[in-house]
Chains A and B, each alone.
Chain A
């Protein structure tokens, strides 16, 4: 707990000066990284060939490192400025609380509010004033405590992320999407997952500035990540899908794709980037420890039915089968629905997924699969 004396004496202006000092260091690094970038940008005019390629790549790497140093210094400056603002607010609240206590004739000794001993009758009145005055001081100390934890977490996390080699564009996206306090208190698995998605996008050469923010819903089994886009990502389909599993059907369905759609291919990404109308791109990572299913980085766009209702994954698996298998209705959360779709009887699960591949079309194959699933369910009962 922050002590009264520490909050009273904290040099808040010093924190702002410190922040400025870090920002100056950041500007110096930035100047150096810009100069290095100009040099390696122009180097091919002076030198081309295998040796030049190696040297240019090395220079590019160094430039990135200097730029990362600049960004780290900027983020430290930001964290210190935020700390200064929050600590300043706590300090003002403390001073107001102490002034208010004094105006009411109370004493404040090292954060403890005391009613002075005067005549018994008046003293009684003053004692009644002590609890609210004490609460005001305690509240200011709590604000300081909160500010301290947030700043400590932000600074500590910066060190950890820096050590982990998180690239500046991914850091930017993370910071656009979450407050320092949210990042600092995020479940490690969730943070890892977000950073992993960011890293994959970075490695695939995607310009992350096209992403407004990243949203994440995370639990022990399912890890849903949604990206709000500023503009289309122009994804390379070859990069993103390792196993579309049951989701393949949805790409085709939502975008009216006409191409054959085996699991190792996708048309969805192109469709998303072409029309640019999809406000969100879902990335579902799923790692089911039991079935060893790993669907990695599968983008799915949420479509809309004609009446405007959201059109989710597995919508076109017949409703009574979904309900029978999962006990969840049409409107339940899409991730929950998919998660519960795993059936302990592999044959049923397999047929269900085959059925999903039929894209909700009333084909002879779909009718056959539906009948077989119903039969298997009947046998189970």
Chain B
């Protein structure tokens, strides 16, 4: 492997920051209200709200996983470094 470099402590720190963001993202979203009764736009808004919430909810674990992956990489590099010494 050419030109690789790792700073495990910094990598772990960044990974934890990503995990913190995921934790914040997982906080419940205040109920997004509905539009006025009798309007088509209100029906469209309900659909839109449900979809946006679903997409948003699905995104959060991926961010958390990415943070964990960074921390795990830092751990692995440290472990292999100890082993090689």
Contact = CB atoms under 8 A, between A and B. Distances in A.
23 contacts: A2-B38, A2-B39, A18-B33, A29-B56, A32-B25, A39-B17, A43-B70, A46-B10, A49-B1, A52-B4, A55-B73, A58-B66, A62-B59, A69-B55, A80-B45, A83-B41, A147-B41, A151-B39, A151-B41, A152-B44, A156-B47, A159-B44, A159-B47
A59 interface: yes
Contacts of A2: 38-39
A65 B69 CA distance: 18
Nearest to B14: A39
Contacts of A5: 38
Interface string B48-85: 11011001100100110010011001000000000000
A293 interface: no
Interface of A: 2-3, 5-6, 9-12, 14-15, 17-18, 21-22, 25, 28-29, 32, 35-36, 39, 42-43, 45-52, 55, 58-59, 62, 65-66, 69, 72-73, 76, 80, 83, 87, 147-149, 151-153, 155-156, 158-159, 162-163
A49 B4 contact: yes
Interface residues of B, number: 43
A39 B22 CA distance: 13
A49 B3 contact: yes
B24 A46 contact: no
Q: Helix, strand, loop or mixed for chain B's interface? A: helix
Contact of A35 (B7, B21, B45): B21
Contact of B66 (A42, A59, A148, A156): A59
Interface string B34-45: 011111110111
A47 B63 contact: no
Given A17-B33, A49-B1, A156-B44, 8 more contacts: A9-B37, A15-B36, A35-B21, A46-B14, A47-B10, A62-B62, A76-B48, A149-B40
A69 B56 contact: yes
Given A21-B32, A35-B17, A162-B51, A49 B5 contact: yes
Given A46-B11, A46-B14, A6 B35 contact: no
A341 B25 CA distance: 58
